[in-house]
């Protein structure tokens, strides 16, 4: 039964993963290692927008200029050597065995207020499971706000879908095709986002929903199988956040994971993950357990220039 939000849970990573695979949510209040991470992002964003409060920058410029400033900030953050150190320190501090934990690169996101920018680099996600997008069923998602946020600028979980299948387009979603055609083009999508996404094919009920509001540097952990969405931001401020994903090698080998009720994507995102200690990729024999498609015309791993 997915019915619990654990706050600063006194449990080890093994116990926490079991809870996450049962659909529970985990929240950690800000701590030095997570604050170091969000502070680094805050400084980068503040420098980029050249203003004291980037959450209000959207009111000072046309949306095209906002995209021009924010779009290059995303890869700059992802590939900054400091980012790698900070994420490793934080994940380790939160109890993960870094020898056994693999991480993908953290993403920087902006969700602007009142539909100023709704596509491309500011895309607001409809109800989805990350596992529709070729994430493994044992993937764990981490999410941290960088500035003060509110319920009106949060993300939402839709817990009743945890064990309820919905008709969806994941069977037509090919991760290798997505890597080839869609990811590099995000910044070009300013007014409309036409990239093919594995959406639900039936009417979805937004309620009941759960929103978690934390201080900057707080973290929310959830299973990639959770149905979640971006709340339409009506807070009056842009919400900037960091998110990234982890997988545990023992769980990948043993198959321990969240239950799969309706995810059938083609390909796997596992090649995006690197080991916490030495940044080596996941062993090929493990990837083979999850790779259900030939790469054909696509790209196994997206590498931006
Ligand atoms: Fe997601």
Q: Rounded mean pLDDT of the chain? A: 92
Terminal CA-CA length for the chain = 44
Q: What is the pLDDT at residue 190?
A: 59
Q: What is the pLDDT at residue 58?
A: 95
Alpha-carbon distance 238 to 243, whole Å? 16
Q: What is the pLDDT at residue 192?
A: 57
Q: What is the largest CA-CA distance in the chain?
A: 52
CA of 141 to the centre of ligand 1 (A): 8
- The model's pTM is 0.93
* Residue 159 pLDDT exceeds 80: yes
CA of 266 to the centre of ligand 1 (A): 17
Two structure tokens written together for 135? 């994430």
Q: Are strands 219-223 and 101-103 parallel, antiparallel or unpaired?
A: unpaired
CA of 132 to the centre of ligand 1 (A): 9
CA of 128 to the centre of ligand 1 (A): 6
pLDDT tens, 20-38? 999 999 999 999 999 999 9
Mean pLDDT, range 199-221, rounded to an integer: 96
CA of 45 to the centre of ligand 1 (A): 22
CA of 44 to the centre of ligand 1 (A): 24
Alpha-carbon distance 246 to 224, whole Å? 10
pLDDT tens, 91-106? 999 999 999 999 999 9
Distances (CA, A) of 275 to 73, 157, 246: 25, 28, 9
Distances (CA, A) of 59 to 125, 176, 187, 251: 22, 38, 20, 46
Percentage helix, strand, coil for the chain under 3-state DSSP, each rounded to 5:
35, 15, 45
pLDDT tens, 74-92? 999 999 999 999 999 999 9
CATH number given to 5-290: 2.60.120
What ranges in the chain are assigned the alpha helix state H?
13-21, 32-49, 63-79, 81-93, 175-181, 249-254, 284-290
CA of 244 to the centre of ligand 1 (A): 10
Report the percentage of the chain scoring pLDDT > 90: 83
Annotated domain spans of the chain:
5-290
Alpha-carbon distance 237 to 151, whole Å? 12
């Amino acid at each position: 039964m997915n019915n619990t939000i654990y706050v600063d849970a006194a449990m080890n990573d093994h116990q926490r993963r079991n809870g996450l695979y049962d659909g529970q949510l985990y929240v950690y209040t800000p701590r030095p290692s997570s604050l170091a991470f969000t502070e680094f992002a805050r400084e980068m964003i503040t420098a980029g927008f050249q203003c004291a409060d980037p959450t209000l920058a959207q009111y000072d410029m046309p949306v095209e200029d906002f995209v021009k400033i924010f779009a290059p900030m995303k890869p700059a953050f992802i590939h900054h050597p400091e980012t790698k150190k900070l994420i490793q320190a934080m994940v380790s501090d939160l109890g993960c065995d870094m020898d056994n934990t693999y991480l993908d690169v953290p993403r920087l996101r902006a969700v602007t207020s009142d539909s100023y920018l709704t596509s491309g680099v500011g895309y607001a996600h409809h109800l989805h499971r990350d596992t529709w997008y070729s994430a493994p069923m044992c993937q764990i998602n981490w999410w941290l706000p960088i500035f003060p946020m509110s319920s009106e600028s949060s993300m939402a979980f839709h817990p009743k879908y945890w064990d309820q299948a919905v008709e969806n387009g994941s069977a037509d979603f090919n991760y290798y095709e997505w890597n080839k055609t869609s990811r590099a083009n995000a910044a070009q999508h300013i007014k409309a986002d036409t990239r093919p996404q594995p959406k639900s094919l039936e009417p979805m009920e937004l309620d009941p929903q759960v929103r978690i509001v934390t201080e900057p540097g707080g973290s929310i952990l959830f299973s990639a199988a959770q149905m979640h969405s971006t709340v339409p931001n009506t807070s009056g401020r842009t919400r900037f956040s960091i998110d990234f994903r982890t997988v545990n090698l023992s769980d990948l080998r043993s198959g321990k994971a969240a239950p799969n009720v309706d995810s059938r994507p083609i390909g796997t995102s596992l090649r995006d993950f690197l080991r916490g200690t030495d940044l080596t990729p996941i062993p090929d024999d493990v990837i083979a357990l999850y790779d259900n498609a030939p790469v054909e015309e696509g790209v196994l791993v997206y590498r931006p220039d």
